[in-house]
């Protein structure tokens, strides 16, 4: 057994791209090892912004030897009527560089073939790897590539060195004009350029001597531990999200956490602005006190130890200057009449073919009108329409032009500062939320309604424009918009049927009636699919529970959730089996029959009369429960009728020869089926085991 | 200031960078004498990165960004700042180390400052130019833009050039430990404020409040026509001057918020097309020279 060490030294990769490139490299390496039939043990692949390393501690020197067959043409094609070789066979031999006499007959499931059999495998792994590596590197894909030398090899950043040690021997490899060598570069600032590595041990020791923490988990735990230290020291909390952690983890080979302070007078700026300037602009982390209030501390990660506090002092000056800028934007923007900006939106294109933002906000106001009606919040109409008309004005402010991630938020803050009504500014402030399903729970009704309008307008616009989405392609984030609508409805408990909203939104973009119908259908299907995904993959309801509630063609999002919740509870409480059995039995009879009319006068037998009476008495109560969305109680009340229904089935022959009698009985059962189906299609529950959630 | 490091004024920074790059084979040019938004727009960069001929140049270029004006109130931002521009063509193998050496030459102890190459791809849509690279951060302060040039005037570059653009004020502030650029010593105890504060105040008022929008729109069109006319006479160098004038007029209009998104696209397109035609003429001529 041998071992393989590969390192690609590069100039600084974009920090947030590193882990993706590492994964690609590992996948390509593994695929190539498999393709070359190189058996191998575990493979370790780690990366920083300046190096990508692959280590395979157990790798054979030669691939396994074995007999290999190469299939040629089918026998009936290879030989003519007289049994003589055809052109096809001759070409095959020529291509394989074998004589006709080497050809043998091979039995395959498809019939008899001619081909050759020869010794395969046993290849020199070092040679295979040396040949494979340039192709692996050329196979990496990046969102943007560059050229820098005569090799004209596109890559994400210039390649500095290639180290390939196979059994401690350097393999000859060339990529992007760089020849492999034993040189390994140390820390950009702290080490003397490079050291030589002749083994994996050399490599690891050399790196640690040269201030490189190679292992990602070591770097990560160093960062996290040092942040904890700061939190303890300052008795506060450092706001670290995944993006910033990845930025630090992959942007530093020797991460060191530092902290600093800024003049507390800047805390008078809105907290949202401070946080955005710190993280987006300066790559520093905000620090909050125990009550969650911003403090004048910040935390960052350097690539060197900061014993002299040079890094910390330097960053203090920089953050101070950034806040000066923030203050400038904040003041200069507020000199403008915010509402007057709306007219200027006539110059701002929303999307090609979808008009300007001015046209968009006009559409949003009409969608908001429908939404306040549908959700019984008519009293908010005037305020939310005002918010809708002005929700995109902040695109024209200096602050948002500089920091697009503050859109919406700034509009809200500017209006709040101008003394605008709370409902109006809060609606604008929050209308870009949520950014994803995992965002914290939404609380502002106005913002939610405005956001639903905005998202629906996006969806209808892009679908109207003919944008198709697939599992891998969703360039305009249509799915994200649909998810956001679902989350808003859920968080704010809106009883909203999406159908009329979809129609109104689609009407704005439809070319003709047929187009409108088609687009509405596409959007409804999109929402049905997103809702199903939300219930199954996000809320983790069992697939049959979800199927049971997805059946009906309505888009009452919250109802479907509440039904799923009720059905899952029934599954958990063990009550589902009798309900499912009942519903299946009803369906068996009802689904084969036309819709029948029911008449009490045609009831003949005692059991059917009892059932009819009980049903009549229960129905209005159960309908009431369904109206109140108490689906659990409704289901259990239906279940209470089961003994009577069972008795009916026992005693009564539904398929009576007398047609009016038969149809009357079917009609009675159809009514019960409808009542049950108003909650869910219980017949679809297949795995009657406890656990409504997966 | 690092222990034992000498005090460096703004002019010291410029002089030392000139010395450093002259010793490494650069021709020391003057900054261009027309308003430019960046050192890249000087003909010493825009033209010379095109074509095959090697080229090493370094120059100090005042750069105008009307929208960055702060009435002299911001410690870090001005509507006219100074760049020190270096073009190395073809790209040297050890560009990053050369750059770090220049910082050491200025007296920076690179072992105690957090110098980071933070990805930042540069593009100038109006010149049809773009590159891949980083902003170089020093203790959080952006001191340099470090770019591998990929295209200029819409033409793919071969060989590529390395462009190093130092922000002179930022660098001087860092080297002198100043929080506010107006406190900088330009040289021989003349303060930056003394030289520039009034200029910043007046130009900010002009750029944001008083610039005559109609006149500038009119000028843009006249400059454009002049550039087109000159191109018809194959005079691509003067034509390029008029593109630079278009660009400056555009920037002031932008600071005045007079340009809508749709118009922006259109005006950029005009400048980009002119720059592309100019670049093509330059390449034709340069190739003629090579063969002749």
Domains and CATH numbers, chain B: 10-206 (3.30.930.10), 212-291 (1.20.58.180)
Are B261 and A347 an interchain contact pair (Cβ–Cβ within 8 Å)? Answer: yes
pLDDT for residue A359 is more than 60: yes
Question: Which pLDDT band holds residue B290 (cuts at 50, 70, 90)?
Answer: low
Q: Is residue A694 part of a domain?
A: no
Q: Using CB atoms and an 8 Å cut-off, which of residues 149-188 of chain A contact chain B?
A: 149-150, 152, 157-158, 188
pLDDT for residue B68 is more than 50: yes
| Number of cross-chain residue pairs from A and B with Cβ atoms under 8 Å apart | 120
- Secondary structure (3-state) at B124: strand
Q: CB within 8 A of B135, min separation 6: which ones?
A: B118, B120, B142, B144, B145, B146
Q: Which of A112-126, A391-405, A585-599, B63-77 has the lowest mean pLDDT?
A: A585-599
CB-count exposure of residue A585 (10 Å: 0-12, 13-18, 19+): middle
Q: Is residue A556 part of a domain?
A: no
Using CA atoms in the order A276, A280, A285, A286, what is the torsion angle rounded to 10 degrees?
Answer: -10
Does A20 touch chain B if contact means CB atoms closer than 8 Å? no
The predicted structure's pLDDT at residue A180:
97
Q: Which residue of A has its CA nearest to B178?
A: A317
The predicted structure's pLDDT at residue A162:
97
Q: Which residues in chain A are contacts of B150 at CB distance < 8 A? A: 146-147
Q: Which residues in chain B are contacts of A11 at CB distance < 8 A? A: 96, 117
- Copy the structure tokens of residue A139: 């196979």
Q: Using CB atoms and an 8 Å cut-off, which of residues 315-334 of chain A contact chain B?
A: 315, 317-321, 324-325, 328
Whether residues A515 and A579 fall in one domain: no
Name the residue among A88, A139, A147 with its Cα closest to residue A115.
A88
Q: Please compute the mean of the pLDDT values over residues A571-581 and round it to a whole number.
A: 86
More confident residue, A595 or A459: A459
Which residue segment(s) compose the domain that A227 sits in? 216-334
Q: What are phi and psi of A345, to 5 degrees?
A: -65, -15
B156-191 confidence digits (pLDDT tens): 999 999 999 999 999 999 998 888 899 999 999 999
Q: Which residues in chain B are contacts of A144 at CB distance < 8 A? A: 121, 132
Q: Which residues in chain A are contacts of B148 at CB distance < 8 A? A: 146-148, 158
The predicted structure's pLDDT at residue A687:
59
Q: What average pLDDT does chain B have? A: 93
More confident residue, A352 or A315: A315
Are A147 and B260 an interchain contact pair (Cβ–Cβ within 8 Å)? Answer: no
Whether residues A589 and A472 fall in one domain: no
Chain centroid to Cα A46, Å, comes to 24
Q: Is residue A339 part of a domain?
A: no
Does A263 touch chain B if contact means CB atoms closer than 8 Å? no
- Of A334, A363, A397, the one marking the end of a domain is A334
Distance between CA atoms of residues A622 and B138, nearest Å: 71
Whether residues A652 and A582 fall in one domain: yes
Are A149 and B91 an interchain contact pair (Cβ–Cβ within 8 Å)? Answer: yes
Q: How many folded domains does chain A comprise?
A: 5
- Secondary structure (3-state) at A285: strand
Maximum C-alpha span of chain B: 60
Does A207 touch chain B if contact means CB atoms closer than 8 Å? no
Per-residue buried b or exposed e for B70-97, using 16+ beta carbons within 10 Å of the residue's own CB: bbbbbbbbbbbbbbbbbbbbbbeeebbe
Place of tokens 């003057």: B30
* CB atoms near residue B292 (< 10 Å): 5
Q: CB within 8 A of B222, min separation 6: which ones?
A: none
The predicted structure's pLDDT at residue A108:
85
DSSP letter for each residue of B84-118: EEEEEESPPTTHHHHHHHHHHHTT--TTSS-EEEE
Name the residue among B166, B164, B150, B165 with its Cα closest to residue B50.
B150
- Copy the structure tokens of residue B23: 């010793």
Distance between CA atoms of residues A90 and B103, nearest Å: 70
Helices A445-464/A357-374 angle, 10° precision = 120
Q: Using CB atoms and an 8 Å cut-off, which of residues 193-212 of chain B contact chain A?
A: none
Q: Using CB atoms and an 8 Å cut-off, which of residues 155-174 of chain B contact chain A?
A: 157-160, 173-174
Whether residues A32 and A171 fall in one domain: yes
Are B100 and A158 an interchain contact pair (Cβ–Cβ within 8 Å)? Answer: no
Number of H helices, E strands in chain B: 8, 11
Distance between CA atoms of residues B119 and A15, nearest Å: 8
Helix, strand, coil shares of chain A, percent, nearest 5, are: 55, 15, 30
- Of A192, A209, A226, the one marking the end of a domain is A209
Q: Is the dihedral of CA A92, A98, A101, A105 positive or negative?
A: negative
Are A314 and B139 an interchain contact pair (Cβ–Cβ within 8 Å)? Answer: yes
Are A328 and B74 an interchain contact pair (Cβ–Cβ within 8 Å)? Answer: yes
User: Is the backbone of residue A122 left (phi > 0), alpha (psi -120 to 50) or beta?
Assistant: left
Q: Is residue A343 part of a domain?
A: no
Whether residues A410 and A316 fall in one domain: no
pLDDT for residue B43 is more than 80: yes
Q: Which residues in chain B are contacts of A283 at CB distance < 8 A? A: 118, 140
Whether residues A292 and A432 fall in one domain: no
Q: Is residue A278 part of a domain?
A: yes
Query: From the candidates A51, A187, A310, which should be mutated to test the interface with B, based on the most B CB atoms within 10 A?
Result: A310
Whether residues A16 and A89 fall in one domain: no
Q: Which of A145, A300, A317 sits opposite B179 (nearest CB)?
A: A317
Q: Is residue A544 part of a domain?
A: no
Does B266 touch chain A if contact means CB atoms closer than 8 Å? no
The predicted structure's pLDDT at residue A443:
92
CB-count exposure of residue B214 (10 Å: 0-12, 13-18, 19+): exposed
pLDDT for residue B4 is more than 60: no
Q: Which residue of A has its CA nearest to B96?
A: A11
Question: Which pLDDT band holds residue A689 (cuts at 50, 70, 90)?
Answer: low
The predicted structure's pLDDT at residue A572:
86
* CB atoms near residue A440 (< 10 Å): 8
DSSP letter for each residue of A216-268: HHHHHHHHHHHHHHHHHHHTSEE---HHHHHHHHHH-SS-EEEEEE--GGGGG
Are A310 and B100 an interchain contact pair (Cβ–Cβ within 8 Å)? Answer: no
Q: Which residues in chain A are contacts of B138 at CB distance < 8 A? A: 314
What distance in Å separates residue A304's CA from the closest CA in chain B? 6
Distance between CA atoms of residues B187 and A279, nearest Å: 36
pLDDT for residue A551 is more than 90: no
The predicted structure's pLDDT at residue A690:
54
Q: Which residues in chain B are contacts of A320 at CB distance < 8 A? A: 75, 179
DSSP letter for each residue of A613-631: HHHHHHHHHHHHHHHTT-H
Whether residues A592 and A643 fall in one domain: yes
Q: Which of B73, B121, B139 sits opposite A311 (nearest CB)?
A: B139
- DSSP bridge partners of B57: B27, B87
Q: Which of B75, B90, B148 sits opposite A321 (nearest CB)?
A: B75
- DSSP bridge partners of A349: A356
What secondary structure letter does DSSP report for A497?
B
Query: From the candidates A51, A258, A318, which should be mutated to test the interface with B, based on the most B CB atoms within 10 A?
Result: A318
Q: Please compute the mean of the pLDDT values over residues A103-131 and round it to a whole number.
A: 88
Distance between CA atoms of residues A199 and A55, nearest Å: 11
Question: Which pLDDT band holds residue B261 (cuts at 50, 70, 90)?
Answer: low
Name the residue among A268, A317, A331 with its Cα closest to residue A294.
A268
- Copy the structure tokens of residue A161: 């060195």
Q: Which of A364-368, A571-575, A672-676, B38-42 has the lowest mean pLDDT?
A: A571-575
More confident residue, A325 or B253: B253
Question: Which pLDDT band holds residue A363 (cuts at 50, 70, 90)?
Answer: very high
Is the CB of residue A563 less than 8 Å from the CB of residue A632? no
The predicted structure's pLDDT at residue B2:
57
Q: What are phi and psi of A88, to 5 degrees?
A: -55, -45
Q: Using CB atoms and an 8 Å cut-off, which of residues 348-387 of chain A contact chain B?
A: 348-349
Q: Using CB atoms and an 8 Å cut-off, which of residues 633-692 of chain A contact chain B?
A: none
Distance between CA atoms of residues A444 and B235, nearest Å: 63
- pTM equals 0.78
Q: Which of A23-37, A226-240, A460-474 has the lowest mean pLDDT?
A: A460-474
Using CA atoms in the order A564, A566, A570, A571, what is the torsion angle rounded to 10 degrees?
Answer: 20
B54-65 confidence digits (pLDDT tens): 999 999 999 999
Are B91 and A313 an interchain contact pair (Cβ–Cβ within 8 Å)? Answer: no
Q: Which of A220-229, A247-256, A338-347, A478-487 has the lowest mean pLDDT?
A: A338-347
The predicted structure's pLDDT at residue B1:
45
Whether residues A149 and A91 fall in one domain: no
Does B5 touch chain A if contact means CB atoms closer than 8 Å? no
Question: Which pLDDT band holds residue B263 (cuts at 50, 70, 90)?
Answer: confident
Is the CB of residue A364 less than 8 Å from the CB of residue A502? no
Q: Which of A144, A188, A347 sits opposite B121 (nearest CB)?
A: A144
pLDDT for residue B144 is more than 50: yes
Whether residues A149 and A254 fall in one domain: no
Whether residues A151 and A106 fall in one domain: no
Whether residues A494 and A383 fall in one domain: yes
Q: Is residue A24 part of a domain?
A: yes
Does A251 touch chain B if contact means CB atoms closer than 8 Å? yes
Place of tokens 């509402």: A339
Q: Which residue of B has its CA nearest to A300?
A: B140
- Of A183, A209, A235, the one marking the end of a domain is A209
Is the CB of residue A196 less than 8 Å from the CB of residue A184? yes
What distance in Å separates residue A178's CA from the closest CA in chain B? 10
What distance in Å separates residue B94's CA from the closest CA in chain A? 9
CATH label of the domain that carries residue A578? 1.10.730.10
Count, residues in chain A: 694
Is the CB of residue A456 less than 8 Å from the CB of residue A485? yes
Distance between CA atoms of residues A630 and A232, nearest Å: 49
CB-count exposure of residue A224 (10 Å: 0-12, 13-18, 19+): middle
Q: Is residue A413 part of a domain?
A: yes
Distance between CA atoms of residues A74 and A55, nearest Å: 44
Are B139 and A319 an interchain contact pair (Cβ–Cβ within 8 Å)? Answer: no
A600-623 confidence digits (pLDDT tens): 888 888 888 888 888 888 899 999
Does A148 touch chain B if contact means CB atoms closer than 8 Å? yes
Q: What average pLDDT does chain A have? A: 91
Q: Which residue of B has its CA nearest to A255?
A: B114
Strands B141-152 and B129-138: antiparallel
Question: Which pLDDT band holds residue B292 (cuts at 50, 70, 90)?
Answer: very low
């Amino acid at each position: 057994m041998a071992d393989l060490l590969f390192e690609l030294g590069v100039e600084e990769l974009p920090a947030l791209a590193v882990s993706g490139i590492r994964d690609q490299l590992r996948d390509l390496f593994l695929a190539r090892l498999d393709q070359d039939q190189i058996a191998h043990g575990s493979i370790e692949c780690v990366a920083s912004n300046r190096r990508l390393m692959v280590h395979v501690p157990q790798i054979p020197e030669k691939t396994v030897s074995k007999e290999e067959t190469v299939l040629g043409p089918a026998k009936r094609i290879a030989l003519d009527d007289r049994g003589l070789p055809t052109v096809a066979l001759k070409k095959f031999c020529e291509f394989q560089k074998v004589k006709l006499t080497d050809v043998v007959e091979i039995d395959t499931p498809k019939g008899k073939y001619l081909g050759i059999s020869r010794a395969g495998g046993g290849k020199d792994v070092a040679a295979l790897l040396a040949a494979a590596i340039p192709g692996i590197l050329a196979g990496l894909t990046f969102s943007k590539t560059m050229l820098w030398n005569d090799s004209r090899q596109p890559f994400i950043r210039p390649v500095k060195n290639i180290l390939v040690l196979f059994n401690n021997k350097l393999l000859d490899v060339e990529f992007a004009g760089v020849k492999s060598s034993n040189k390994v570069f140390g820390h950009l600032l702290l080490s003397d350029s490079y050291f030589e590595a002749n083994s994996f041990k050399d490599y690891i020791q050399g790196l640690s001597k040269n201030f490189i923490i190679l292992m990602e988990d070591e770097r990560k735990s160093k960062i996290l531990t040092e942040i904890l230290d700061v939190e303890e020291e300052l008795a506060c909390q450092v706001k670290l999200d995944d993006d910033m952690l990845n930025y630090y983890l992959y942007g530093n080979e020797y991460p060191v956490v530092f902290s600093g302070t800024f003049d507390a007078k800047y805390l008078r700026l809105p907290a949202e602005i401070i946080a955005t300037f710190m993280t987006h602009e300066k790559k520093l982390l905000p620090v909050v006190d125990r009550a969650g209030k911003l403090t004048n501390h910040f935390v960052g990660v350097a690539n060197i130890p900061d014993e002299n506090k040079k890094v910390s002092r330097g960053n203090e000056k920089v953050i101070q200057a950034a806040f000066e800028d923030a203050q400038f934007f904040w003041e200069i923007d507020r000199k403008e009449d915010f509402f007057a900006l709306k007219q200027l939106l006539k110059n701002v294109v929303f999307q090609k073919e979808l008009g300007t933002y001015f046209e968009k906000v006009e559409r949003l106001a009409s969608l908001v009108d429908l939404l306040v009606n549908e959700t019984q919040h008519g009293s908010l109409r005037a305020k939310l329409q005002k918010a809708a008309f002005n929700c995109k004005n902040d695109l024209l402010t200096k602050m948002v032009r500089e920091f697009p991630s503050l859109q919406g938020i700034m509009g809200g803050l500017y209006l709040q500062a101008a003394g605008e009504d709370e409902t109006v500014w809060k609606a604008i402030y929050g209308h870009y939320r949520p950014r994803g399903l995992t965002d914290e729970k939404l609380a502002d009704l106005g913002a939610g309604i405005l956001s639903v309008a905005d998202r629906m307008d996006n969806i209808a616009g892009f679908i109207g424009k003919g944008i198709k989405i697939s599992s891998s392609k969703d360039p305009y984030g249509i799915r994200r918009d649909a998810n956001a609508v679902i989350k808003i409805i859920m968080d704010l408990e809106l009883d909203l049927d999406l159908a009329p909203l979809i129609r109104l939104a689609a009407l704005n973009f439809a070319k003709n009636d047929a187009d409108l119908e088609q687009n509405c259908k596409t959007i409804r299907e999109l929402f049905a699919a997103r809702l199903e995904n939300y219930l199954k993959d996000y809320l983790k309801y069992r697939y049959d529970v979800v199927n049971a509630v997805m059946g009906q063609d309505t888009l009452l999002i919250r109802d479907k959730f509440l039904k799923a919740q009720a059905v899952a509870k029934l599954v958990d409480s063990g009550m589902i089996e009798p309900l499912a059995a009942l519903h299946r039995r009803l369906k068996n009879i009802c689904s084969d029959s036309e819709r029948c009319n029911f008449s009490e006068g045609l009831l003949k037998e005692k059991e059917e009369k009892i059932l009819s009476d009980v049903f009549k008495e229960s129905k209005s109560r159960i309908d009431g429960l369904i109206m109140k969305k108490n689906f659990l109680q409704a289901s259990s009340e239906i279940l209470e009728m089961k003994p009577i229904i069972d008795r009916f089935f026992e005693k009564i022959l539904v398929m009576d020869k007398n047609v009016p009698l038969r149809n009357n009985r079917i009609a009675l059962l159809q009514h019960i089926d409808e009542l049950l189906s108003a909650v869910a299609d219980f017949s679809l529950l297949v795995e009657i085991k406890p656990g409504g959630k997966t | 200031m690092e222990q034992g490091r000498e005090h460096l004024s703004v002019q010291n920074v410029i002089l030392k960078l000139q010395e450093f790059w002259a010793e490494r084979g650069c021709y020391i040019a003057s900054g261009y004498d027309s308003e430019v938004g960046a050192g890249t727009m000087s003909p010493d960069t825009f033209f010379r990165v095109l074509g095959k001929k090697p080229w090493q140049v370094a120059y100090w270029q005042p750069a105008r960004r009307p929208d960055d004006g702060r009435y002299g109130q911001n410690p870090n931002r001005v509507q006219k700042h100074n760049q020190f521009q270096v073009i190395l063509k073809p790209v040297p193998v050890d560009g990053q180390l050369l750059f770090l050496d220049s910082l050491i030459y200025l007296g920076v102890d690179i072992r105690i400052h957090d110098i980071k190459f933070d990805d930042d791809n540069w593009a100038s849509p109006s010149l049809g130019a773009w590159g891949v690279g980083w902003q170089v951060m020093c203790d959080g302060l952006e001191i340099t833009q470090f770019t591998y040039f990929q295209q200029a005037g819409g033409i793919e570059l071969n060989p590529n050039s390395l462009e190093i653009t130092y922000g002179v004020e930022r660098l001087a502030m860092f080297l002198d430990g100043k929080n506010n650029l107006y406190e900088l010593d330009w040289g021989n105890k003349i303060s930056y404020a003394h030289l520039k504060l009034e200029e910043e105040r007046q130009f900010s008022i002009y750029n944001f409040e008083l610039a005559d929008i109609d006149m500038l729109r009119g000028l843009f069109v006249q400059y454009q026509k002049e550039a087109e006319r000159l191109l018809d006479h194959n005079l691509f160098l003067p034509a390029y001057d008029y593109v630079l004038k278009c660009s400056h007029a555009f920037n002031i209009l932008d600071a005045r918020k007079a340009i809508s998104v749709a118009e922006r696209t259109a005006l950029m397109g005009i400048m980009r097309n002119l720059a592309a035609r100019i670049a093509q003429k330059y390449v034709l001529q340069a190739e003629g020279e090579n063969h002749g």
